[in-house]
Amino acid sequence: MEEQPIICSSCLGENSHVRMKRHPNGEECRFCTRPFTALRWSGDTRVGKMKKTVICESCARARNCCQCCSVDIDYQIPLDLRDAALKLAGIANPYSVENTSKNREVKAIIGDKIEKRLKNEETETAEEKKEKMRDILTKLAQKLGSGAVANTSMPKERTSGGSTTKELSKTIAALPFGGSLALPKNNEDRSFFVFGFSADMPQYKLSEFFETHGKIESVRIVHKAKCGYVVFDSRSDADKCASAISSNGLNSNLATAGLILVNSQPVRVSWGNSQPLGRNNDEQAKIAQVVTKVMKQLAERDALQKGKRTKKLNGSHSTKRQKLESQERTDKETKEVKQSYKALSRDLEL
C-alpha cells in the first residue's frame, strides 16, 4: 500500500479531502538533496495558497516533521526549537538540525541510510510511537521540574592580550564615565552616553526605552564595547528624558550616571557627546573592561549612599548645613570617580 504523506493539518487545509498532484522526482529534498516524488495541492489556510512538499518522506519521518512546512508533526513547533528542547532534556537526537552535514554528497548518503533503516523499522506501531513520545515528554518535564534546564553555559571573560596604545587610553579617558544627569552648561547638548549593558541587549529595546521620552535622532550602540550614544532630536526632549531617569526611584545619588533598567538589565546613562568607541575588536574589548569596572564602582557607591541616607533619616534633623554637607560630599565623590577613571586608563596603558 502507498505510504501516507507526512503533512501537518494546517498545511492540508480545511477540506476533509484534498486533491493532490504527484510529480515523480519533482523536487529536491531540502535536507538530503535527493530528488523525491513531490506532491502539490491547494491549501487555503495560513499564508500561501499553493502548497507542495519540499522534504522527502524518509527525512520527514526521521525528523518527525511536516513535509511541507517542516514544523514538528505532533506539536506544530519549529524544528530548531524542538531539537533545542530535546537537547536540554538530554535526549539524543541523531537527526537534529545541528547535526546536519554541510556537505552535499554526505547529505545524500545519509539520506539513503535513513531510508534503509526506516524500511526495517516498519514494525514500530502507532502504539509504540506514542509510548516513545510519552517517555520523551516525561523526561523533559522531569528536567524542567528539577531546574536542571537553566542555562548552563556561562560566558568566560576573554582576557585579550596585546598592548594598549596611547591612543586607546586617550579614547577611554575621553569617555564621559564621570558624567551625570545634572543639566549640562552647553544648551546644545542633547546626547546621552549609555553604558553597562551586556552583549545580549537588543538595540531596539534600548531605543524603545528612550523613544518614550521623545524623538531620537540617532542611536549608536557598540555591543562589543558595552557602551554607546543616544542622541535626541531636540534639547527639550533630552531634558525630559534626563529628569525622568533621575526621578525613576533608582537614583538617590545624582552626582553620578543615572541607573535605568532595560530588559531587566542595569544600564547607566549620563549626558555626553559622541566620542569614538574604539576602531577594532581589541580596542572595544578593552573599553568593555573599563565599563565593567566602572559599573562595579558605581554600584558600590550607590550602596554606600543608600547606607548613609538611611542613617541620615534616622537622625531626622534636616538643616541647611547638612544639605550643604551632602552637596560637598557628592562633589567630592564625583571627583573621586573621575580620578579613578584616570587611574583606570593609566592601568590599561601599562
Partner 1 sequence: MVQQIDLSKPARLQVDPDQIQDDDKPPQTGHTFNVWYLQWAGGDPTARDQTKLKFRLDVEKDSGYTRAKDGRSLICLFYSRGCCYRGKDCLYLHRPPKPEDARIATQDCFGRDKTGDYRDDMSGVGSLSRVNKTLYVGGIIATDKIHEQVSKQFLEYGAIDKLKVLPAKKCAFVSFRLEAEAQFTKEAMDRQSLGENDVLTVKWANEDMNPEAQRLVQQEIEAQAIETVKRLLGSDDSLSRSTKRHKPSKNASQEQETVDESQIFDDIPREEVAHDHSEIEHIPIETSESRDGLIGKARLKLLKEAVTRYKEAQKTKATPFKSLATEYTSD
Contact residues for Zn ion, defined by CB under 5 A: 8, 11, 29, 31-32, 56, 59, 66, 68-69, 111
From the list partner 1, Zn ion, none, pick the one residue 202 interacts with, judged by a Cβ distance below 5 to 8 Å according to partner type: partner 1
Amino acid sitting at position 310: T
Q: Is 206 exposed, middle or buried (0-12, 13-18, 19+ CB in 10 A)?
A: buried
Residue 124 CA to its chain's centroid (Å): 41
Q: Which is nearer to Zn ion, 5 or 184 (CB)?
A: 5
Q: Which is nearer to partner 1, 302 or 347 (CB)?
A: 302
From the list Zn ion, partner 1, none, pick the one residue 227 interacts with, judged by a Cβ distance below 5 to 8 Å according to partner type: none
From the list Zn ion, partner 1, none, pick the one residue 219 interacts with, judged by a Cβ distance below 5 to 8 Å according to partner type: partner 1
Q: Which is nearer to partner 1, 142 or 322 (CB)?
A: 142
Q: How far is the CB of 318 from partner 1 (least distance, A)?
A: 25
Q: Which is nearer to partner 1, 204 or 318 (CB)?
A: 204
Q: How far is the CB of 117 from partner 1 (least distance, A)?
A: 21
The residue with cell 557602551 is 227
Q: Assess contact for 272 and 179: CB atoms under 8 A.
A: yes
Q: Which is nearer to Zn ion, 22 or 306 (CB)?
A: 22
DSSP H or E segment with residue 304: helix 281-315
From the list partner 1, Zn ion, none, pick the one residue 91 interacts with, judged by a Cβ distance below 5 to 8 Å according to partner type: none
Q: Which is nearer to partner 1, 306 or 342 (CB)?
A: 306
Q: How far is the CB of 319 from partner 1 (least distance, A)?
A: 30
The residue with cell 531510508 is 115
From the list Zn ion, partner 1, none, pick the one residue 155 interacts with, judged by a Cβ distance below 5 to 8 Å according to partner type: partner 1
Q: How far is the CB of 218 from partner 1 (least distance, A)?
A: 4
The torsion angles phi and psi of 222, rounded to 5 degrees, stand at: -110, 100
Q: How far is the CB of 162 from partner 1 (least distance, A)?
A: 17
Q: Which is nearer to partner 1, 145 or 161 (CB)?
A: 145
Task: Report d(CA 67, CA 114) in Å as an integer.
Answer: 16
From the list Zn ion, partner 1, none, pick the one residue 59 interacts with, judged by a Cβ distance below 5 to 8 Å according to partner type: Zn ion
Give 227's strand partners: 195, 222
The residue with cell 527639550 is 236
Q: How far is the CB of 293 from partner 1 (least distance, A)?
A: 9
Cα separation values, 269 from 185, 190, 254, Å: 17, 13, 11
Q: How far is the CB of 293 from Zn ion (least distance, A)?
A: 52
DSSP 53: -
How big is the chain by its Cα radius of gyration, in Å? Answer: 30
Q: How far is the CB of 5 from Zn ion (least distance, A)?
A: 11
Q: How far is the CB of 228 from partner 1 (least distance, A)?
A: 9
Q: Which three cell numbers stand for residue 22?
A: 504527484
The residue with cell 534633623 is 317
From the list partner 1, Zn ion, none, pick the one residue 111 interacts with, judged by a Cβ distance below 5 to 8 Å according to partner type: Zn ion
Q: Which is nearer to partner 1, 186 or 252 (CB)?
A: 252
Q: Which is nearer to partner 1, 24 or 94 (CB)?
A: 24
- Estimate the crossing angle of helix 126-146 against helix 79-88, to 10 degrees: 60
Q: Which three cell numbers stand for residue 119?
A: 524500511
Amino acid sitting at position 273: N
From the list partner 1, Zn ion, none, pick the one residue 330 interacts with, judged by a Cβ distance below 5 to 8 Å according to partner type: none
Task: Report d(CA 339, CA 206) in Å as an integer.
Answer: 29
Q: Assess contact for 196 and 166: CB atoms under 8 A.
A: no
From the list Zn ion, partner 1, none, pick the one residue 109 interacts with, judged by a Cβ distance below 5 to 8 Å according to partner type: none
The candidate with the shortest Cα–Cα distance to 64, out of 143, 7, 125, is 7
DSSP H or E segment with residue 219: strand 216-222
